A and B are shown apart, each in its own frame.
Chain A
């Protein structure tokens, strides 16, 4: 017997996906009509990207059924999604950069004669005509992909999807790196795709975009589908409420905040007029014992600010003062020597040496080794006592200092990684997504550690996080970022998650802001 779905174009029924311990998708039902722009929203980790990866065959669900056009299908490889006319356009566009527009559009389907020789004239003419007819945009089919802007590349991706006969386009955060005009162009492309009978699933953090372009919206929270509704029936506030949930809008107080008083404290870090390709005119200060959060959607320049401060990315303009003194920071080594450390998001690739002992892992960086050694001779005794201090500070559970990191639990390994950065004795610590990929229990321990570093050890901390609850719990001051600018600054008083989400998704860029 063939199972037949209902009247929707795509039906995903009761989808379950587990990643080891966490339930990424909890019996999710998801329905898409033919010819609509269906928006998917939710906080990071709510499950929207996971669901789309399942739909495009990148990963497989543990349970659940999928119907396309009324027939049950099993999408266990991207090529099957391809055959079902589903195209995922990921944030990292998979184009071939050294080849021409036309060749990318016709990839795998080049017009050729019986001997296999390609008819370039026809290929380029068809590409240009097709793009002009479908989207009203003129593009040189002979231009190289690497010479195009991001928006033009997306156009090529869409054109290719059309060439492959795609009926369903999945766009994952397409506007993250686009300018206003480019977003307009993208919207035109998406809309004309819909007019030709195409179906679009649109993932975005920018709620005003969703309001502008979406027909229907599905909201996710904690791996569950909360609601599917016509976009016009939901106000922005309502969407945010669904995204966050009522229960969590009240603030949880983990540790009581110390009152923020600018005058009585030392200013540890001051950045003035910092400018480069990714961030615009950044002014910010961090005081002793203060946690400053950088909040914004993906692509708003959170990490880019940190990278520019530490000299990982070059600065075109701007000065950095540390405890009132101007310092030169041209590279990360300068930053570490001056006491600014950046603990990056991608800690795994920075590596922990699994076979080496906890002690060695903690102290393994140039500055710490120099600080602890005399004429490059190392005393094991000094090492051990220093390492012991950090083990206690971070509350790392270890059998002994000589135990290899291999024998530690994942959470404790994460702590060793953090400890490795802390042993340089920094004054300002920049934490980029400090709790990403950590299980819940350890997460709260990390919060306590971060608090302790600021409040007891008087460090200045810049916190970058996409988890709003984390920002609300930890920070004293919140800077709202948008397109590489700081657009607003708030003291973290009576700020709810909903309010914060509203701020980061809707506040417009203003000119000249001071902080």
Chain B
């Protein structure tokens, strides 16, 4: 009897492992396909390029994962990225780099906190609240710039994105690695991180257990806004502009990576390790299509189809 029970547990363990990390199997297959289709694919230069394109969307998707784990969603992150860049372009000459960066980080956090406050105070669906704020902040970015990108002319600021460690590892990759490690520790070992899962599982039960649900929600959206602003800084430093369209496209990638990574849109299940796999898959796929000279329009269609197939395969495996 005891033996049988242990066997069942072993089986569920294996099942859970497959459930969690299937995305990495798919990723390996993709890498092999990439290598076979073009030997350029696995070269240091190309991989460095991939990692550069990977880091900002990945940092954004880490924040998105946490929000989705609570059972919510944040559609406003792309707009926050744009607005951050635009704001920086205006204030940097007056404030200097350090103060400017701090101001925009606080702004991002405040935007997120406001989202969280409206969601928890008025019990409105996160989708609707953040959809509205997405439109508002994007609009705001257009208004202040008059839809013309504002150049940033402080060379020291470019180093936020362009610098590297040992001359090999670009700084954005370091940022994303640090964010990733911190988020894994936070979600798995810190009591507030666990609250995110508990809240996403069942809000009522969490409340009964004395968890301050509203405060937690505000905190997570604030953290996410903060992360979005951080990405906005990197992007502005890379394109050397405050552009109201700089954040376009990040939203879709972040949600797709979270879903591919196996995090349930209902909340409470999944995590950032899966999201890592999801985002790696998305970025490598894009790169392989580019290397193989696939037309940009067909690229999007193929990407959409492959994401759909992966999501179906993943949901079947669970």
Contact = CB atoms under 8 A, between A and B. Distances in A.
Interface of A: 78-79, 82, 94-99, 103, 107-108, 110, 112, 115-118, 120, 138, 140, 143-144, 147
Given A79-B210, A107-B198, A118 B204 contact: no
B205 A98 contact: no
B192 A78 contact: no
A304 B202 CA distance: 27
A10 to B, nearest CB: 20
Given A96-B268, A99-B201, A108 B209 contact: yes
A110 B194 contact: yes
Contacts of A112: 191
Nearest to B270: A98
A99 B202 CA distance: 11
B273 to A, nearest CB: 15
Nearest to A138: B2
Nearest to A145: B201
B147 interface: no
A94 B12 contact: no
A98 B197 contact: yes
Interface string B168-209: 000000000000000000000111101001100110111011
B9 interface: yes
Tier of interface size on chain B: 20 to 34
B189 A117 contact: yes
A108 B191 CA distance: 9
A94 B198 contact: no
A82 B201 contact: no
Nearest to A82: B208
30 contacts: A79-B210, A82-B208, A94-B202, A94-B204, A94-B205, A94-B208, A96-B197, A96-B198, A96-B205, A96-B268, A97-B201, A98-B201, A98-B268, A98-B269, A99-B197, A107-B206, A108-B209, A112-B191, A115-B190, A116-B190, A116-B192, A117-B190, A118-B190, A118-B191, A120-B189, A138-B2, A143-B9, A143-B12, A144-B12, A147-B9
B211 interface: yes
Q: Is the interface of B mostly helix, strand, loop or mixed?
A: helix
B189 A108 contact: no
A96 B189 contact: no
A118 B196 CA distance: 14
Contacts of B197: 96, 98-99
A98 B269 CA distance: 6
Interface of A is mostly: loop
B116 to A, nearest CB: 20
Contacts of A120: 189
Given A96-B202, A108-B211, A116-B191, 4 more contacts: A96-B198, A98-B268, A99-B268, A110-B191
A112 B191 CA distance: 7
B16 interface: yes
Contacts of A78: 208
Contacts of A97: 201, 268
B170 to A, nearest CB: 31
Contacts of A115: 190
Contacts of B204: 94
Given A96-B201, A98-B269, A99-B198, A108 B190 contact: no
Top 10 closest pairs, chain A to chain B, by CB: A108-B209, A96-B201, A98-B269, A94-B205, A107-B209, A116-B191, A108-B210, A147-B12, A112-B191, A98-B268
B48 to A, nearest CB: 35
Given A140-B9, A144-B12, A95 B191 contact: no
A262 to B, nearest CB: 47
Contact of B208 (A79, A98, A99, A143): A79
Nearest to A93: B205
Nearest to A143: B9
Nearest to A120: B189
A124 to B, nearest CB: 14
B212 to A, nearest CB: 10
Contacts of B206: 96, 107
B12 A107 contact: no
B198 A144 contact: no
Contacts of A99: 197-198, 201, 268
Contacts of A138: 2
A211 B269 CA distance: 43
A99 B270 CA distance: 11
A148 B211 CA distance: 25
Contacts of B194: 103, 110, 118
Contact of A117 (B8, B191, B198): B191
Max count, chain B CB within 10 A of own CB: residue among A96, A97, A116: A96
B1 to A, nearest CB: 11
A419 B180 CA distance: 59
Interface centre among A79, A107, A120, by most B CB within 10 Å?
A107
A79 B210 CA distance: 8
Contact of B16 (A94, A116, A117, A144): A144
